[in-house]
Structure 1
Amino acid sequence: MYTSNLLIILLGGLATASPLRVRQQTNDSNYKVIIDSNALAQALKTIMPTSDSCAGAPGPADDCRTAEQAAPFIANSSEGLGPGELAGTLALMGVESGDLKYKHNVFPGRPGQGTAGMLMPNFVAEYAASVLGAQAVAGLSPAAVLDLVTVDEHNFGSVRWFLDAKCDDGVKAALRTGSDDGFRAYMGCVGVNADDPARLAYWNRAKAALGL
């Protein structure tokens, strides 16, 4: 049945406060998942408990962003993700950025490693080329390339980019289920220990925030 109006409805099974919505665009078989940045900011504060403030942030002066500051950029880069994918990417971002307080690697201090996903320098270069073009990064040092993508517009998109560009369809399908096995598959793609208690804590908070 066709309609000329855009219909916003809750994604089935999610709590009322969920940042995820489904927009019916042209007919009843054409849906697009969108993300409300205000609701996302509240979810971020559940997933990343210290993201409500940058007061006393331990990292470089300009690295920290609050949940409210980051939410519009995360919402934009995450549009179209389902709840399982969003939970996984936010859990990863929370661990890697220290609740949005770091976008440069401080421990051990590896030049060129960073973004909200704390990508290694080779992945930072690939990400930068994907959003800015190969010519923009040609001949630059790893640190200079990182500077190109730590602006808010690009910083928070690095986690979504890695999922899209580096994880195979099986991993994406598993994560889409929102299951613990799906998260483990995703962490395997990232190359980290899925049973790390810190990572599991972020994952469990993300599931709770998104009603999984």
Structure 2
Amino acid sequence: MHFLGQLFPLLLLLTPGRAEESCEGSSSPTSSPSSSSSSSSSLDLVRVLETLGVAKECKAERKECRNATVVAPLLEASFKKFNIGCRQEAACLVGLMMLESVNATFMRNQSPGRPGQGTVNMQMCGFNLKWAKDLEPGTFSDVDSLECFDKGCKDAGKCNQVLDEVLKTDEGNFFSPAWFYHTQCNETEIKTGLRDNVSFCSDYVTKCVGTDGKNEDRLKRNQQAFEAFDVIGKTKCVPL
């Protein structure tokens, strides 16, 4: 079951795509940042995000847009909460987020407009149900599972309700990439490898996210993120 899907250009934007659910389960990082990398310079995440295309100032008509000064501290807090300690991991997650949300411009799937698909991770409804329950225990206690892969799905109304709940706060939106990585992917070997080397990012996208990690658009966007985070060629964890 996949999580995110193929994207295609619409003028200047890439359209978030399909997600089917896969890689359930919980997994924690099994290694700690390498002490040999501890001298790395501090990361200016605002600058990194602006370099990657996040707006310095959102246009008034872009109601779902968030600028880099808003996004950066939210991502930093999410990395801390979900034990993401290496730039390599962060670069992979940010590259994915940038593609799916079109540089933090959209919170909801734009095409084909699937009910309940959203957050900057463009998670499908089933994942957002889990995320909503984690954000606020007791929420949707009467709902065990949801699926919605097209506009006419039987769970459309409930899926939209779930997404509305998740998006009530910017935390619900921007903590989702780290939450998914930490709690919904049980590919320990890939996650351990990604802490040291971004070459494992495409494996994460394929095995856990459930879409083509070798897609040309994804590879290009990820490469930009790797450059911005200064992790190309690094083979040991560079601490955040």
Alpha-carbon distance in structure 1 between the residues aligned to 2:174 and 2:139: 22
Q: Is 1:179 matched up with 2:198? A: yes
Equivalent position of 1:149 in the other structure:
166
Number of the residue aligned with 2:97: 93
Q: Distance in 2 between matches of 1:50 and 1:56?
A: 15
* Structure with the higher helix share, 1 or 2: 1
Partner of 1:65: 66
State the match for 2:178 in structure 1: 160
User: What is the aligned-residue identity percentage?
Assistant: 30
1:194 aligns with 2:213: yes
Q: 1:51 & 1:117 partners in 2: Cα distance?
A: 18
Q: Which residue of 2 aligns with 1:44?
A: 49
Name the TM-score, length of structure 1 as normaliser: 0.76
In 2, the alpha carbon distance for the partners of 1:134 and 1:201 equals 40
Q: Alpha-carbon deviations, 1:145-166, whole Å to 9, x = none? A: 1111112022101111111112
Gapped regions of structure 1 (runs ≥ 5) = 1-8, 20-38
| Structure holding more strand per residue | 1
Q: 1:36 maps to what in 2?
A: none
Compute the displacement of 1:10 (Å): 11
What is the CA–CA distance in structure 2 between the aligned matches of 1:69 and 1:137, rounded to whole Å? 31
Alignment gaps of 5+ in structure 2: 1-34, 144-156, 232-240
1:44 offset after TM fit, Å?
Answer: 0.9
Amino acid at match of 1:74: L
Contact residue 96 and residue 118 of structure 1 kept, 8 A:
yes
Q: Please report the RMSD computed on the Cα atoms of aligned residues, expressed in angstroms.
A: 2.2
Q: In 1, Cα distance between the equivalents of 2:73 and 2:213?
A: 28
Distance between the aligned counterparts of 1:113 and 1:161, measured in 2?
Answer: 16
Q: Which structure ranks higher in relative contact order (CA pairs < 8 Å, sequence separation ≥ 6)?
A: 2
**Retained in 1: the 8 A contact 2:89–2:198?**
no
TM-score, normalised on structure 2? Answer: 0.68
Residue of structure 2 aligned with 1:130, choices 128, 134, 137 = 134
